[in-house]
Amino acid sequence: MFFSHVPGARLYALINEIFRIRGQRAVVLIDEYDTPLLSVLGDRERLSSMQTALTGFYAPLKTLAPYLRFVLITGITKFASLPVFEALNNFVDISLRPEYSAICGITEEELESCFSEGMAGLAGEYGMTEAEALEKFRRKYLGWRFTRSTQRVYSPFSLLSAMALRSMDDFWFSTGSSDYLLSQIQRFHAGITELDGIGALASEFDAKSEDLPGIVPLLYQSGYLTIKDYDRTFQLYTLGFPNGEVKVGFIRMLIPYYVSEDVNKAFNACRQISRALMEGDADAALTAAQSFFTSIPRSEGTLKDARAAQKHFTDMLYVTFSFLSRFVPSEVRTAPGRMDILVKTRDTLYVMELRIDGSAEEALSQTDGKGYAIPWKADGRKVVKAGISFSSEKRTISEWKVRQSAE
């Protein structure tokens, strides 16, 4: 039989022929429908041409309805104004519907019922009990939540890779290119310190891709952020990194832009800092951090005024300390004028407070005044407080003070 070279005509002829030969309606599965659109997103003229071309491809789906049993179209972004989707008015957006909350991943129940052999292999490889291995596995890979439902899922790619290789490495980040995402982070001058725990209405993070209001919709739709909580009263979602694997991958992507072009140097510095913290030596950790920041070449163009300098240093410290989670659990939280860092090791909790061009004593006093260490009083681990001063002139840590919490 003859197929036209026009994509839409070929799709139409193919489905008709399947129905003629088999007498059954077809199932159409289209993955990554948005890839051609993302490649020209910054060019309105080319984007319009691409939309026209894709409309010609998808258009037959409406007239083919009698020959179709089911059609599923997936992608990471939302091009709601694509003309063909306006014509295909029988399509339903299931992105935030609770009944489909587990359609894109592997649930906790599925892991425990279907992958016990793989988990036993991982436990043996790491010299852990199966319960210990499962807990480490959850922290590393579990976390995507796509609806108001509390259902969380694993990425199939990461889960299956870890099981096959018996190694809890970072797999998810290798599945796609980061160039486009990084360009958009720079385009929107994203406040990266505010992403983990940001609040948003559904309309803010499920926005259409043609007119993105900021970086949050793209980060959510591409899986770097996920739903962490939902407030039914205010219909407000809280977004954050899904798990340790994604957070470390995201931060690693930012290191060349915010910290140092030498990613290996940053990696080794963070390893040195982490080792000192795990050994209970905060002074050695901060000495290593000071040495690392001192070694970073100056970048004059990023510091136009005091506010830009503060944002630059805050972003740099946020990325560096967040990357520590590659080795030890760490949380970095920010607020105007300050940066709070919480690092957890097996024996110690470190509560750190930052001052830019201030004194370490002032930072430490705020830690005491605000009672930052109090929530960890019942944890059972030693709590160490540190006040850190960062010099905008020297572009490194200028001084610090450390003391064990008596609270």
Which pLDDT value is given to residue 209?
66
Domain spans of the chain, in order of start: 7-93, 100-169, 175-240, 259-404
Q: pLDDT band for 304, please (50, 70, 90 cuts).
A: low
- Interval 190-210 mean pLDDT: 82
Q: What pLDDT, in 10s, does the model give residues 217-230?
A: 889 988 899 999 99
Q: What pLDDT, in 10s, does the model give residues 330-378?
A: 777 765 555 578 898 989 999 998 888 889 999 999 888 888 888 888 8
Task: Rounding to the nearest 10 degrees, give the CA dihedral for residues 226, 257, 167, 156.
Answer: 30
Nearest residue to 315 (alpha-carbon basis) of 326, 304, 323: 323
Q: pLDDT band for 300, please (50, 70, 90 cuts).
A: very low
**Which segments of 172-305 does DSSP mark as H helices, in order?**
179-187, 202-205, 216-221, 244-258, 263-278, 282-294
What's the half-sphere exposure (Cβ side, CA atoms, 13 Å) at 178?
17
Does the predicted model carry a pTM greater than 0.75? Answer: yes
Query: By the 8 A CB rule, do 349 and 379 touch?
Result: yes
Amino acid, res. 403: R
Query: By the 8 A CB rule, do 243 and 142 touch?
Result: yes
Q: What pLDDT, in 10s, does the model give residues 9-18?
A: 899 999 999 9
Q: Which residue has the higher pLDDT, 129 or 82?
A: 129
Q: What is the CATH architecture of 259-404?
A: 3-Layer(aba) Sandwich (3.40)
Query: By the 8 A CB rule, do 154 and 138 touch?
Result: no
Which pLDDT value is given to residue 301?
44
